Chains A and B, each alone.
Chain A
Amino acid sequence: MQCERARELLSPYLDGELSAEERRAAAAHLGECRSCSAQLGDFRRVAQTLAEAGREPAPKALTARVRGNLARAAHAEPTPTTALISKPPRAGASSVRRALLRQAAVIAAACVLSAVATWLATSSLGQQHRLEQDVLAAHVRSLLQDSPIQVASSDAHTVKPWFAGRIDFSPEVKDLASEGFPLVGGRLDYVGGRRVGAVVYKRRLHIVNVLMWPSTSAGDVAPRLITRNGYNLLAWSRGGVDYWAASDLNAGDLAQLQALL
C-alpha cells in the first residue's frame, strides 16, 4: 500500500470505521512505515487530549434555567422562543438577587402580555375590536389624503364597474343624491386582513365611508352603532355582505343612509 492511500485510512482506522479488509491492509502498512505510524500516533495523542480536556463544562445553573424555560413553554405555547430564554445574571454578586427578581418580573410581565395578546388575537371580542379599529383607521386615512376616492363619479354605473376585477365581489353602489346622500366615488381599502370595497357618500359637508366585503356569517345582522374617538360606526350584514359605515355624521343620519342602501 502507498503512503498516500494509507494516510486516507488513518483517521477511520483510529475510529474503527474501516472494513475488515481495509483494516488489515492499513495495519500491514503501519507495521512497516514509520512515517505513517508516527502520524497515527499524533492523531491518537490529540484524540486522547481532546477526550480528556476538550469538553467545555456546562454551567451548573443551566439545567435549572432550561427546565424553567420548558415549564413556561409548556404552559404558554405561543410565546416566541427568545422571550422564554432566561439570561444568567452577569452583574456582581451583590446585585444578583435584585437582578433575578427583576428578571422574574420581566418574564412574568411578558407572560401576562403574551397571554392577553393571544387572548385578544384569538377571541372574537378581539377580532371585533380590531375590525372597528381598522374601519376607523380606513375612514380617517381617507380624510387625511387629498381625496378619499380613486374613482370619482356621482354615477353608480361608473363606480360599480370600476370595482370589477379589483375585488372578488360586486359592492352595492347607489346614487342617493335625491335623498341627500350624493355619491362621491369609490376606492379600495384594507380592513381585517383583506381587500375591501369603499364607497364614499356625502351628507352636507360630512364624508361617509361605506366599507363592504363578503360576509363570513350566515344570515343578516341588524345594524349596531359603535362610537369610537367621536366617530360613529354602523355595522350590519345583508345578503351575504358585511357593511361598515364610518362618519362623523350623527347617528340618525347614518341610520337613514343604512336604510337607503
Chain B
Amino acid sequence: MSSLRQFEPLALPCMEAAFNLAFWLVRSRADAEDIVQEAYLRAFRAFDGFRGDDMRPWLLAIVRNTAYRWLSNRRRSGTVISLEEAFAEGSGQSTDDIASDEPTAEERLIGAAERDYVLRALAELPPAFREVLVLREIEGLAYREIAEVTGAPVGTVMSRLSRGRGELRKVLTRLMGKDEPNAM
C-alpha cells in the first residue's frame, strides 16, 4: 500500500517521543508499548486527514488520546497501579548516564539522587501539568505545538506550564525534606 510508504518515514522517527509521552501518562512501560502500537494504527488509518510536514504534534495528540482512553478504562476496571509499582517497573536507564566530565563518586551520587527526585516529583503531578512538562522539557516542543497536542489554547499551555513548574518545585522541596523554599 502506497500510503504506508508515505506514512512510515514521517511517523517512525516520532517513536521515541510517542513512547515517552505514553509512559509519562500511564507510568507503565508495558501499557505504554501497547498504547504506542494502538496509536500508530489509529494514526495510519487517519493519515488521509493529516496535512503538513511536521507529524510530531499530530501523532502525539493521537498518542495522548489513546493513553487517556486507556487510563479511563483502567479506572473503570478498577485496576490501580501505585506510584511505587510504576517506578519499580519503570525506567530501564542506568544511573550513570546523567553526569558528565568525569564526576566524582559523590557528585555522581548527588546527581543520581536529584534525578530520582525530579522524576518522582514529575510522576506525582496531576496529568494536566505532567503532560505539558514532558512535552516542553523532554521533547522541547514550542507552546504552539503543545497546544496542538493537548487541544488547549496557547494561553492555557503557558499558564499550565507556569503552574506545573511551580508545583513540581513544591513537590521536590517536600520530597527532599528541605524547608527552605528557594533551595532544591
Contact = CB atoms under 8 A, between A and B. Distances in A.
A joins B in a complex: yes
A46 B12 CA distance: 29
Interface in B138-184: 138, 140, 142-143, 158, 161-162, 165-166, 168-169, 172, 182, 184
Interface string B11-46: 010011011100110000110111011101110110
Given A58-B19, A59-B29, A53 B118 contact: yes
A8 interface: yes
A51 B137 contact: yes
A46 B120 CA distance: 12
Q: Is the interface of B mostly helix, strand, loop or mixed?
A: helix
Interface stretch (B50-58, B76-84, B91-99): B91-99
B138 A55 contact: yes
A55 B16 contact: yes
Chain B interface residue number, banded? 35 or more
Contact of A88 (B33, B97, B118): B33
B169 to A, nearest CB: 5
A240 to B, nearest CB: 39
Contacts of A43: 165, 169
A17 B132 CA distance: 15
Contact of B30 (A50, A81, A90): A90
Interface of B: 1, 3-4, 7-8, 12, 15-16, 18-20, 23-24, 29-30, 32-34, 36-38, 40-42, 44-45, 90-93, 97-98, 114-115, 118-119, 122, 133-134, 136-138, 140, 142-143, 158, 161-162, 165-166, 168-169, 172, 182, 184
